[in-house]
Amino acid sequence: MDLISIRDLDKKQIETMLEAVDKTTAHKGKILATAFFEPSTRTRLSFQSAALRLGMNYIDFSPELSSLRKGESFGDTIRMMDGYADVIVVRHPKEGAARLAAEAAESAVINAGDGGNQHPTQTFIDLYTIKKLKKKLGGLRIALVGDLKHARSMHSLVYALAMFGNMLRLVSPAGLELDPALVEEIEGKFKEKVETGKEMRLNDVDVLYVCRIQEERFADPYEAKRMKEKFRITLSTLEGVKKDLVILHPLPRIGEIDPGLDKTPYAKYFEQAHYGVPVRMGIIDYLLGR
């Protein structure tokens, strides 16, 4: 079993996986490999920590010290790791890389982010956090704010949130809107009307989910810089919001959330990041089976 895209799952499977989070069993003797071809702090370390907490060991692949430098292909690299590990966690700058790895490997493959496409384990963390803080997964008004064009965390999340029947408001700087084909897809599949706009209307919102401008996916770095300067959430942005508003962010934040917000009761992004370990333990446990 692999975990490549939120699209491969239905509500029942997602609910079952979320329920497994706090009921994991040990997997002594099993090995997890982290194969990251793009930078990461939280995802790589929380997967390694999750493996250790499940009684497993982990091995870590470093592209810059590997035979990739001699010209070995991605497919052959994964085929090798397949013999060394029971679970392979892949992050890669190219869309579709994790699916390719899953086709090349017998071991379970987990997509830890493929380009601007998908980041399903981040979505599990987001859903787990929302359920913990709001006591439900549906019927909420959720604003998704930031670079919706390039952020894979948003592409996975928006799909799952619509699946669970939430009211979505998408807010992005001009030019960084969510792909209209994805909006159309989720409206058609889940019968949820998705609001889109440039204005940050937050007064009726239960969850505000922010992501950074994904600078590395811009063709023009000057354009990214210009967007970053325009886009920032401060205390004054939050005037008139609901008292129990929850602010989430996959992190890293690069200036889009003023650190002055960290001490407010709304800020839950560090708590969210810490759920990375138990949620990923649940995912590994589910994929390895009992």
Residue 113 interacting with ligand NCD (CB under 6 A) = yes
Do residues 196 and 183 lie in contact, with contact meaning Cβ atoms separated by under 8 Å?
yes
211 touches ligand NCD (CB under 6 A): yes
Residue 79 near ligand NCD by CB under 6 A: no
Q: Give how many residues touch ligand NCD by CB under 6 A.
A: 12
Q: Closest distance between ligand NCD and the C-beta of residue 212, in Å?
A: 5
Asked if 172 interacts with ligand NCD (CB under 6 A), we say no
| 43 catalytic residue (yes or no) | yes
147 vs 285 by CB, closer to ligand NCD: 147
3-state secondary structure the chain: CCECCHHHCCHHHHHHHHHHCCCCCCCCCCEEEEEECCCCCHHHHHHHHHHHHCCCEEEEECHHHCHHHHCCCHHHHHHHHHCCCCEEEEEECCCCHHHHHHHHCCCEEEEEEECCCECHHHHHHHHHHHHHHHCCCCCCEEEEECCCCCCHHHHHHHHHHHHCCCEEEEECCCCCCCCHHHHHHHHHHHCCCEEEECCCCCCCCCEEEECCCCHHHCCCHHHHHHHHHHCCECHHHHCCCCCCCEEECCCCCCCCECHHHCCCCCECHHHHHHCHHHHHHHHHHHHHCC
Contact range with ligand NCD by CB under 6 A, out of 54-62, 133-141, 150-158, 184-192: 150-158
Judged by CB, which is closer to ligand NCD: 190, or 275?
275
Stretch that binds ligand NCD, among 15-23, 145-153, 175-183, 277-285 (CB under 6 A): 145-153
Active site residue 119: yes
Does residue number 94 form part of the binding site for ligand NCD (CB under 6 A)?
no
**Catalytically annotated residue among 30, 44, 91, 253:** 91
Compute CA distances 104 → 58, 76, 81, 109, 274, whole Å: 20, 8, 10, 10, 32
Please report whether residue 150 would count as binding ligand NCD according to CB under 6 A: no
Instruction: Give the residue, chosen from 122, 129, 172, 272, that forms a contact with ligand NCD under the rule CB under 6 A.
Output: 122
Distance CA 221, CA 61 (A): 29
Interface characters, 245-274, with ligand NCD (x: CB under 6 A): -----xx-----------------------
Tell me: does residue 42 bind ligand NCD (CB under 6 A).
yes
**Residue 149 known to be catalytic:** no
Options 152, 155, 268, 280; binder of ligand NCD; rule CB under 6 A: 152
Catalytic residue chosen out of the listed positions 99, 119, 149, 280: 119
CB of 210 to ligand NCD, least distance (A): 10
Binding site for ligand NCD (CB under 6 A): 42-43, 113, 119, 122, 151-153, 211-212, 250-251
Residues with active-site annotation: 42-43, 70, 91, 119
